[in-house]
Amino acid sequence: MSYIVPIGPYHPALEEPIHTKLYTEGEVIKDAEVYVGYNHRGIEKLAEEKNVIQTLVLVERVCGICSHSHAFTYALAVEKINQVEVPKRGEYMRVITAELERLHSHLLWAGIACHIIGHDSLFMHIWDVREVIMDMLESLSGNRVNYGMVTIGGARRDVSDDMRREFLANLKACVPIVDRIVEICLNDKTIAMRTQGVGVMKTEDALRLGAVGPHARASNVDIDIRRDSPYSAYADFEFKVPVWPSCDVFARVVVRALECYESVGILIQALENLPEGPINTGGRKLPKIMEGACVTRHEAPRGQLSYKVVGNGSLTNHRVSIHVPSYKNTPTVPFMLRDNTISDAGLIIASIDPCFSCLDR
């Protein structure tokens, strides 16, 4: 028999409001529709009334998990319009925060995915590692969320030599733990049964639908803004871009796990080769946004984040347009749900690592 099964807007497997309508034959999903817009806050409109410092604070609140990514990308655009050069050490501090944030985001998602699967022991094991990363972010910025590390022209906080050595020791100690997590993810029968062959999105479909980030790379699409169009200090670091050919939920687990290795590698390189010099904590005079427009991109934890900033020579933004990874990845959800069972729907939706707080900005 045919049924219409609603999931959401509030669902125990999803931390943010989304409504997915499933059209089923028995337990098999034949089609699906996704509805968003339950969390709209008007951040883009608010930005038109804010100066650059107020906007940095505002855009960090677009998302609690990838807050640094938003401030980072906005600052890149304003600096390009105003022709501001960031000191090398300031660029390194931005990258260090960005990669710690990527580790935090991927480990958070992996833990939640294991919880949805029903593997709570691995969930707790992963979040134990995440807590080390959160402690590092707190030591660096004073906060566990909304780090406030970015200012126009540089970074707001530096790392001491003692803190640098402590971070290196923590990161190197995390590697064997991540090894064990990856080994379990690749070989555990429970994970395999719940993820392999589930929510398949082939490479050609990922390209056609415009998927980005780990979601695209799990469908064997080899893209990463950090490598393909280097910005900030990313050209200074060697790292690989993990891709996986199976194109299913299992691939999305594996890609994010492998990306943790690459983030640790970038962090170790940055901390071991941290340049001497200033970080530029910003001047006393509030900068105007000169006339002009600029689009900047950043490889946020969920994928390509884009900002278009338009200035008209005043202290406030004329326009700030934010294009988030979840906006690009959400249209893939109905496609992935088809021909799967209702019991897998929550996991498939969660597999894109959705942030509907970002999406409803």
The domains of the chain are located at 41-328
State whether the Cα torsion 96-98-104-107 is positive or negative.
negative
Is 321 in a helix, a strand, or coil?
Answer: strand
pLDDT recorded at residue 177: 86
Q: What pLDDT sits at residue 15?
A: 65
Quote the pLDDT of residue 144.
Answer: 87
**Cross-strand pairs, 292:** 311
Tell me which residues of the chain have a pLDDT lower than 50.
Answer: none
pLDDT score of 8? 76
pLDDT of 353: 85
- Class of the domain covering 41-328: mainly alpha
pLDDT in tens, 42-80: 899 999 999 999 999 999 998 888 899 999 999 999 999
- What is the pTM (predicted TM-score) of this model? 0.93
For the segment 148-173, what is each residue's pLDDT rounded down to a tens digit?
999 999 999 999 999 999 999 999 99
Kindly give, in sequence order, each residue whose CB lies less than 8 Å from that of residue 263, ignoring residues fewer than 6 positions away: 99, 100, 102, 103, 106
- What is the maximum alpha-carbon separation in the chain? 69
Please provide residue 213's backbone torsions phi and psi, each rounded to the nearest 5 degrees.
65, -155
